[in-house]
Structure 1
């Protein structure tokens, strides 16, 4: 058993607990993310509004994936790619190049 396999075995129960907490407290987590984003945006004078908005959106998507909304493995924007048997995730699909 390799190092990554042993780490996956140890982190498996923790992932279940985190997922359960995300399901139970999703509203509070999302509210906290919005509040933190608003405070940071005010303190930076709006200079980084776009970056803050993107980061907040990504954090909300991560909470959504953790809470397993819409069934196992589904997030706000469709299913989360499953890992191959060797533990590597499939490559993300990219749009075709523009000529």
Structure 2
């Protein structure tokens, strides 16, 4: 098994775990965005919101 195969396997496992716990991941994204917005004094709110939205799309919510 090559290095890239190992990486692909780890990424696959990560995606599976994220899907199983998407509600917790979504909550963590929200908390991280809120904390970043607070620490920057709202100066980068639009950029933080865009980054959080992009992160949410990677791990869709449970159905």
TM tier, smaller: 0.7 to 0.9
Structure with the higher fraction of residues in strand conformation: 1
Q: Which residue in the other structure is 1:46 paired with?
A: 42
Aligned length: 61
4+ residue runs of structure 1 moved beyond 2 angstroms? none
**Long gaps (5+) in structure 2:** none
Pick 1 or 2: higher relative contact order, CA cutoff 8 A, min separation 6.
Answer: 2
- Report 1:25-40 matches (<5 A): 25-40=21-36
**TM-score for the superposition, normalised by structure 2:** 0.77
Q: Which residue in the other structure is 1:11 paired with?
A: 7
**TM-score for the superposition, normalised by structure 1:** 0.53
2:57 to 54, 61, 85: 61
**Larger gyration radius, structure 1 or structure 2:** 1
SS, match of residue 47 in structure 1: coil
Structure with the higher fraction of residues in helix conformation: 2
Over residues 16-54 of structure 1, what are the superposed CA-to-partner deviations in whole Å (9 max), with x where a residue is unaligned? 211211111111011011011111112211110000001
